[in-house]
Structure 1
Amino acid sequence: MARHPRTIPVAPGRWALLGHTPALWRDTLGFLRSLPETGRIVRVDLGRLPVYFLTCPDLVHRILVTDAHEVDKGRIFQRIRPLLGNGLPNSEGEFHRRQRRLIQPVFHPARIASYATVMERHARALADSWHAGQVVAVDQTMNELALTTVVRTMFSRGLTATTVEEIKHCLPVLTGGILVRAFTPSLLDALPMSPNHRFDTAAKRLRAIIDALVTQYRRDAGGATHHDDLLSLLLNARDGSTGEAMDDTQIRDELTSFLFAGTASTGITLSWVFHELAHHPQAERRVRAEADEVTRTRAAGYDDLSSLAYTDRVLQETCRLRSVLLIMRRTSGPVTLDGVRLPPGVNLAFSPYSLHRDPRLFPRPGRFDPDRWLSGPGAPPRQAFIPFGAGSRKCIGDAFSWTEMSLTVATIAARWRLVPVPGHRVREVAAALVRPDALPMVVTPWGKQGG
């Protein structure tokens, strides 16, 4: 017989009225990592809002795949819908399935191969721009590289330098404030505070920029047919059943979502890759040797991805250690998890960051060990590693991001080492994706010291 939700254990550290908010605020990462000690499902109160955290991969798989039809996106995505609109990350039901069918060809391997030329070109230009001894803010540089790359794959024409700079200005304001906006009551949005003003102004400006580009592409006869950038492909996309195209508002929403998904996660992960390599010289030498083999006579390209096997494992291990902090869902129908029957409207959550550091799933979880991803009996369980989600909600641009990160690491590692600035301590910051607080590094040529 199914149990009642009140039988679910409550996380330690709950305050009256405030719930677990103080504990989360004081040590977000430590609090999330501690939840598996309490149970497979743990109740966490965000103020007066009960949220049931799933701490085991089989339960997460249930809500993402097996019972996904009984689960919707929930509160966070309702709060960010005014910014991202009804793009793939926010849409639901049949509309989401239709949009995914329309957009899937945009990320076909043949398309990714064409985008890879843009990725490699920008990575090579970045490596060429550095000089020995230069101190680089790697976190900022990688975010800017990811943004530039995704913008240039989205819009092959119509972009002025001023427009690109405006996008570069708007996006960090929005990515920095979106998690706060998602978790705060909507009544606070209208308060005349400078963070609200900056966020709302940046959101309005970004929408206006994308709207203007969509209008320009529409107006430019033939432009939507003869270009292979993301915007042109979306303009040409047709529903296989009805022949319908997306309207301009929907295209704007999808492009805004691509900007967010293709910039922050890629830039942050690349930053952590170079941080980890700098602290693990053997891994750094192996990445360099692999990249040197591939780039001996030419730049790394899409066809070289299969030759970058160790680099691929480095990316997997980096994504394991620095993951998405928190994902929320809400039951839209009755769901039974671990013998507990949850009615519609219950808030669920899980932390990929915590899941990927669970010692039951990943022995010595704090250790950076790319070879843990070698196939064999000791490899991590498949369902335990979800850097891009799973099921019908899995990130549609995962191959795009992985290709960009692989080519960027190979291109830079073949030319340079990035060495930590002496005396600087890098700290993890709890954000949508766990990021470094600051990552200054010294550009260093390969030589005796580099192996």
Structure 2
Amino acid sequence: MTTGTRKREAPTVPGRLPLIGHTPAMLRQRLAFTAKLRSHGDLVRVWLGPLPVHFATTPELVHQVLSGPGEKFRKGLLVDKLRRAFGNGLVSTDGEFHRRQRRMIQPALRQPALERHAAVMTESAADLVDSWRPGQPLRFDRVVQDFTIGVVGRTLFSTDFDPRVSAEIRRHTSTMLRLGVVRALAPGPLALPVNRRFDDAVARVHRVVDDIVAHRRTDRADLLSTLVEARDEHGLPMNARQVRDEVVTLLVAGSETTGVALSWLFHELAANPDVADRVHDEVDEVVGRRPATLADVPELRYTRRVITEVLRKYPLWIMMRRTGADVTLGGVDLPAGADVAFSPHALHHDPLSHPAPERFDPDRWSPDRAARVPRGAYVPFAGGLHHCPGHQFAQYELAIATATIAARWRLVPVPGTPVRPKVVGLIHPDRLPMTAVPRSH
């Protein structure tokens, strides 16, 4: 008599509850939950209600997920739950359609288009620092979120957003992303209480975008015109719904992450005066008191290390994928349709890859030290076929805004108001009140 060899299975993380699985613990503990997954194995199973999700916990496995062929790892559950918001935008599509859209959009996010976008960043940053007064209290997280929405709005539509429109988008985008994550982690009946609020937020963002698109001027060389005029390899344009989906994707993805990063960057400068002094010294040498430009970015070497360290310390909480074919991951055979996840935050705070991960240390990105970081251990923009196409746009905007602000101002925390991380999909500061203090040169 012969017996078959039992296939290896990933271990299930302790604490699974009947029917609801690990969902309550994951939503309650969030960063702590994903941080401890590696102690249970390189690939482990977490149950979201009745749904098993395989979590990759090592850089090697995450690199395999992100860099594998497109037919093996596709967009996953989190994107499914956000598709109501982004439709068939670039962030939520796969396969040949994704490649078609990426090819059509890519020219708008490459040189020389990026040079035009960078000019908008410089002008917007100059307007921002000119608007402050010495000693002015700022709700800095909201200020920079409005700034990044305005930059994307001007590159999309060649015009400033009305402040009320910016506030409407900021408010409902935050709700949309937060509830989208809850919907993904609490599938089925557990998500029903948030669905109506999620749908309402999506509808409001779509109405704002539809109104702007409907009243746009057609004589502008802006990003929206690039989308409307783009043609695929067969000479076919995007339809109106597809244009709307891409606009929403660019507007949300291009503003939310950058605004959060700018918030944390100036929080860290305030908390680390030695780092702030080095940034100010570099900015004084490269930029002086004028607004920073694209030409300055290559010379802002230390400032760019600071940006890289912010993106390490405050990345996305989780990303999800789904197998598009049978794959073997970490010695475990996964069938097509299996949900796979990983935590950029856990990877970025793993002391095996990033010594003393809680310390804000821009010098860990000096060339010699950065070369020792394993592949898959630093993934702020994902990777592979679904590497964020706007990563260069975001990095230019962060560098130009940081240098322009630092040339003129120090942002000082308001005493007695501790800042705590608020974990959605992104990690936001719960509040960030700061006072604008002019620099003396």
Closer, same or farther: CA 268–161 of 1 in aligned 2, 3 Å? closer
Deviations 1:325-363 (A, max 9, x none): 001111121000122111112110000000011111111
**1:60 aligned to 59, 62, 65, which one?**
62
Closer, same or farther: CA 158–238 of 1 in aligned 2, 3 Å? farther
Match of 1:311 in 2: 303
1:287 equivalent to 2:287? Answer: no
**1:326 aligned to 309, 312, 318, which one?**
318
**1:363 aligned to 355, 359, 367, which one?**
355
Q: Quote how far apart the aligned CAs of 1:17 are.
A: 2.9
Report the 3-state secondary structure (helix = DSSP H, G, I; strand = E; otherwise coil) of the residue aligned with 1:50: strand
Tell me the distance in 2 between the aligned counterparts of 1:441 and 1:162. Answer: 22
Q: Quote how far apart the aligned CAs of 1:392 are.
A: 0.9
Alpha-carbon contact 1:43-1:51 (below 8 Å) kept: yes
Alpha-carbon contact 2:137-2:435 (below 8 Å) kept: yes
Deviations 1:224-277 (A, max 9, x none): xx52211011111111x2111111110100000011111110010110000111
Aligned counterparts, 1:128-143, within 5 A = 128-143=130-145
Match of 2:399 in 1: 406
Q: Quote how far apart the aligned CAs of 1:300 are.
A: 0.8
Report the 3-state secondary structure (helix = DSSP H, G, I; strand = E; otherwise coil) of the residue aligned with 2:237: coil
Match of 2:293 in 1: 301
Report the 3-state secondary structure (helix = DSSP H, G, I; strand = E; otherwise coil) of the residue aligned with 2:152: helix
Q: Quote how far apart the aligned CAs of 1:13 are.
A: 2.7
Report the 3-state secondary structure (helix = DSSP H, G, I; strand = E; otherwise coil) of the residue aligned with 1:238: coil
Match of 1:94 in 2: 96
Tell me the distance in 1 between the aligned counterparts of 2:117 and 2:286. Answer: 19
Match of 1:201 in 2: 200
Tell me the distance in 1 between the aligned counterparts of 2:337 and 2:178. Answer: 29
Match of 1:4 in 2: 7
Tell me the distance in 2 between the aligned counterparts of 1:284 and 1:3. Answer: 57
Q: Quote how far apart the aligned CAs of 1:64 are.
A: 1.4
Match of 1:146 in 2: 148
Q: Quote how far apart the aligned CAs of 1:59 are.
A: 0.9
Identity of aligned residues (%): 43
Number of aligned residues: 437
Match of 1:114 in 2: 116
Match of 1:335 in 2: 327
Tell me, which stretches of 5 or more residues in structure 1 are unaligned? none
Alpha-carbon contact 2:48-2:187 (below 8 Å) kept: no
Match of 2:35 in 1: 33
Q: Quote how far apart the aligned CAs of 1:18 are.
A: 2.6
Match of 1:386 in 2: 379
**1:348 aligned to 340, 359, 364, which one?**
340
Tell me whether 92-101 or 422-431 shows the greater mean CA deviation.
422-431
| TM-score normalized with structure 2 length | 0.93
Report the 3-state secondary structure (helix = DSSP H, G, I; strand = E; otherwise coil) of the residue aligned with 1:319: helix
Closer, same or farther: CA 435–4 of 1 in aligned 2, 3 Å? farther
Tell me whether 97-106 or 433-442 shows the greater mean CA deviation.
433-442
Report the 3-state secondary structure (helix = DSSP H, G, I; strand = E; otherwise coil) of the residue aligned with 1:429: strand
Match of 2:80 in 1: 78
Tell me, which stretches of 5 or more residues in structure 2 are unaligned? none
Match of 2:228 in 1: 235
Match of 2:364 in 1: 372
Tell me the distance in 2 between the aligned counterparts of 1:135 and 1:2. Answer: 67
Report the 3-state secondary structure (helix = DSSP H, G, I; strand = E; otherwise coil) of the residue aligned with 1:116: helix
Paired residue type of 1:41: L
Closer, same or farther: CA 415–433 of 1 in aligned 2, 3 Å? same
Closer, same or farther: CA 414–159 of 1 in aligned 2, 3 Å? closer
Report the 3-state secondary structure (helix = DSSP H, G, I; strand = E; otherwise coil) of the residue aligned with 1:133: coil
Match of 1:126 in 2: 128
| TM-score normalized with structure 1 length | 0.91
Alpha-carbon contact 1:2-1:340 (below 8 Å) kept: no
Alpha-carbon contact 1:62-1:68 (below 8 Å) kept: no
Tell me whether 411-420 or 163-172 shows the greater mean CA deviation.
163-172
Alpha-carbon contact 1:329-1:348 (below 8 Å) kept: yes
Paired residue type of 1:204: A
Paired residue type of 1:327: M
Q: Quote how far apart the aligned CAs of 1:16 are.
A: 3.1
Deviations 1:31-84 (A, max 9, x none): 111111111111111122111100111111112112432122122222221221
Tell me the distance in 1 between the aligned counterparts of 2:164 and 2:139. Answer: 23
Paired residue type of 2:395: W
Deviations 1:354-389 (A, max 9, x none): 001111111111111101101115642343211001
Report the 3-state secondary structure (helix = DSSP H, G, I; strand = E; otherwise coil) of the residue aligned with 2:18: coil
